[in-house]
Structure 1
Amino acid sequence: MSRPPSGESGTRTSRAVLVERPGAHRLVEREVPAPGPGEVLVKVAAAGICMSDREVYDGHRDPGYVRYPVVPGHEWAGTVEAVGEGVDPALTGRKTVAEGFRACGACERCRCGETSLCASGYAETGFTEPGAFADHVIVPARLLHLLDDDADLRAAALLEPAAVIAAAVRAGRPQPGERVVVVGAGTLGLLAVQLLAASSPAELAVVDPRAARGDQALRCGASRSLDPDGAARLEGRFDLVVETAGAPTTAASSCRLARRGGRVVLTGMFTPGAAGIDPVHLSLSQLEIRSVFGAPSSAWSDAVRAFGLGLLDPAPLITHEYPLERFADAVALVGGGDPKTGKVLLRP
């Protein structure tokens, strides 16, 4: 087994942001962990903060999907620093990202390729397993998706949300010449615009109440930007609707944007009390509706491939970068409502 070299004192240390319980965190310093059999130790280059991380910190995440104390961080990129027993030593030094879901690979759903629906129970890096708001993270080697040697690791930290969008695109099956609309112009929405633009739509609209976000969507490849009132005048127009906002009304409004027989993919994380989908409209319109939570291995492959080909460029979505010591400042920005705040990174 390859292990990281020792420093002058004989022991190397690694820092991590530990959320002990909702609203309480501290920066801990420990000996660099050694990867076990089948695992790799990754030196983290950058880790993104999303609303799920804010929910973990605030205590708003469903108790079945978090285990305190926890080191958050499920959006990240880094370099393999050491490998455990049974892992190819040639991985050492490779730039990489990794799937967050710790799928078993053996249940019926995993064998069908639906690793995000693993029946063995929920386990995910940064929620139930130590994540990447740290100098190092340990993950199973089987979950790695290797990057090109010249890959921008800062931008690659957004490949986890990009994989979620790749799953949505797979579910939505866009065809050249279709009318497509993305609801929401946050990180997920802007990544969706980039991937959907590659399908050569006749129209690629974005709906967001924030004009600045709409303008950014145009720079990402959208053909038009709409506010919710403007979108309401186009109900029944679109072949494919990709919802990314998770706002209380956007699941219902997205269904109204779809044409009869159209397709709707919901990726936003909705809170209890969100407006429901009208079953009468659903049945009469014969809509096809899919939801996405996380991403299977196939979608990760799609996202990494698109990133390597330059079809996906997450770097312009990054607006703020902080060291681990300023985690409190960084997480406070997420979900704060400032349209100038895009993706916030921690840089160990």
Structure 2
Amino acid sequence: MGAEEARVSSRAIIIDRPGAHRLVERETPRPRSGEVLVRVAAAGICASDREVYDGHRDAAYVRYPVVPGHEWAGIVEAVGEDVDPGLVGRKTVAEGFRACGVCRRCRYGETSLCTAGYAETGFTEPGGFAEHLTVPARLLHLLPADADLRAAALLEPAAVSTAAVRAAEVRPGERIAVVGAGTLGLLATQLLAAYSPAELVVIDPRTERAAQAEPFGATAALAPGAASSYEGRFDLVVETAGAPSTAAASCRLARRGGRVVLTGMFTPGAEGIDPVHLSLSQLTVRSIFGAPSAAWTDAVRAFGTGLLRPAPLVTHALPLERFADAIALVGGGDPKTGKVLLVPQAP
């Protein structure tokens, strides 16, 4: 099916400015040369979407009005010129960063650090809180025909967790801690468990959330207070919470000569890492911003083999009409709220 055969109308959520959104009926987007049109099956809401709605995201990383939604999965419905028509009907996800592919960082494989200027689906480009969106075909990662598309909507955070695990250079038999039992933390736990760690401890003040990590391979779930007795114990600490104190706390959990990977998105005013402790302990500290193409490839492969199981993390699936309810659930403080999805439905 070509672009001219696409549906003539499609619904989308538009955030015009902080705190103001509309559900609109619009003309179905038409894929340009090199693009595909995707019918969205499900789209996840994360804390950064809540920041866009509340107006707390750095102005350099959002462009209003915007159709949000950077975590999504769907089916290719049409293709533009110079795109393989065999993609039509394929289940897919796609990288969010619109990397140029030619700058030094992109050529080095660090596509999430593209120097051509920030552009990302759902923040500066129309996203997945809609029945349809268009994306460059080069960013697609195709899924198995039997893929659960609601679960696949979590492959964007899964790619970020995969980037963290790749950066960590995990070795079998290590003592590992994961700080944070949100989506990133629970997905990272699944990946880290595959390395047969001697210990895999998940730390989160929400005890109910931390306990959810145990079916994914965690050997223990702890509250931060209880974790203080574990300082200096772990070969590797993967931080996923982005809370004001978690970067510094993660460094204290690492043994001398250990490794720390910071994955959470911190806000100004977060507690700094003690440089004296850092140097005397000879820690290796890495940070993660998004996910490069290689991490996406690994995440999709792990999902296809069943190593990554995002489906149990989903607790809510709401239609576009209930966007306000969905965004309120995210960050609402209820430990029973996991991943919230929007599931577009035809009018």
Q: SS state of the match for residue 80, structure 1?
A: strand
1:101 paired residue number:
97
Runs of 5+ in structure 1 lacking a partner?
Answer: none
Equivalents in 1 of 2:327, 2:265: separation in Å? 18
Q: Identify the match of residue 158 of structure 2 among 159, 162, 175.
A: 162
Matched, 1:48 2:50: no
C-alpha deviation, 1:271, in angstroms: 1.0
1:66 paired residue number:
62
Letter in 1 for 2:228: A
Letter in 1 for 2:185: G
The C-alpha deviation readout for 1:233-272, integer Å capped at 9, x for no partner, is: 0100000000001111000000000011111000111111
**Aligned pairs (5 A) from 1:331-346:** 331-346=327-342
Equivalents in 2 of 1:288, 1:99: separation in Å? 28
**Aligned pairs (5 A) from 1:105-144:** 105-144=101-140
**Aligned pairs (5 A) from 1:137-286:** 137-286=133-282
C-alpha deviation, 1:141, in angstroms: 0.2
Matched, 1:3 2:16: no
Letter in 1 for 2:275: P
Q: SS state of the match for residue 240, structure 1?
A: strand
2:312 paired residue number:
316
TM-score normalised by the chain length of structure 1? 0.98
Equivalents in 1 of 2:41, 2:61: separation in Å? 26
* Cα pair 1:4 1:81 within 8 Å, conserved: no
C-alpha deviation, 1:87, in angstroms: 0.3
The C-alpha deviation readout for 1:172-219, integer Å capped at 9, x for no partner, is: 011000000000001111001001001111110000111111210111
C-alpha deviation, 1:30, in angstroms: 0.8
Letter in 1 for 2:171: Q
Q: SS state of the match for residue 42, structure 1?
A: strand
Equivalents in 1 of 2:88, 2:35: separation in Å? 12
C-alpha deviation, 1:221, in angstroms: 1.2
Instruction: Count matched residues.
Output: 344
Equivalents in 2 of 1:122, 1:76: separation in Å? 20
Matched, 1:330 2:326: yes
Letter in 1 for 2:81: E
Q: SS state of the match for residue 167, structure 1?
A: helix
Equivalents in 1 of 2:69, 2:206: separation in Å? 27
Equivalents in 1 of 2:87, 2:68: separation in Å? 25
C-alpha deviation, 1:4, in angstroms: 5.7
The C-alpha deviation readout for 1:1-48, integer Å capped at 9, x for no partner, is: 812636xxxx62100000000000000111111100000000000000
Q: SS state of the match for residue 36, structure 1?
A: coil
* Cα pair 1:109 1:117 within 8 Å, conserved: yes
Q: Identify the match of residue 295 of structure 1 among 284, 291, 296.
A: 291
Q: SS state of the match for residue 233, structure 1?
A: helix
Equivalents in 1 of 2:170, 2:4: separation in Å? 46
C-alpha deviation, 1:220, in angstroms: 1.5
The C-alpha deviation readout for 1:146-170, integer Å capped at 9, x for no partner, is: 0000000000000000000000000
Equivalents in 2 of 1:71, 1:96: separation in Å? 19
C-alpha deviation, 1:229, in angstroms: 1.1
Equivalents in 2 of 1:83, 1:199: separation in Å? 40
CA RMSD of aligned residues (A): 0.9
* Cα pair 1:67 1:127 within 8 Å, conserved: yes
* Cα pair 1:39 1:87 within 8 Å, conserved: yes
Identity %: 77
Equivalents in 1 of 2:4, 2:255: separation in Å? 57
2:86 paired residue number:
90
Letter in 1 for 2:123: F
TM-score normalised by the chain length of structure 2? 0.98
Q: SS state of the match for residue 76, structure 1?
A: strand
Letter in 1 for 2:72: W
Runs of 5+ in structure 2 lacking a partner?
Answer: none
* Cα pair 1:162 1:303 within 8 Å, conserved: yes
The C-alpha deviation readout for 1:83-117, integer Å capped at 9, x for no partner, is: 00000000000000000000000001100000001
The C-alpha deviation readout for 1:281-320, integer Å capped at 9, x for no partner, is: 0010010001101000000001000000000000000001
Equivalents in 2 of 1:26, 1:32: separation in Å? 17
1:4 to 1:151, Cα distance in 2 relative to 1, 3 A: farther
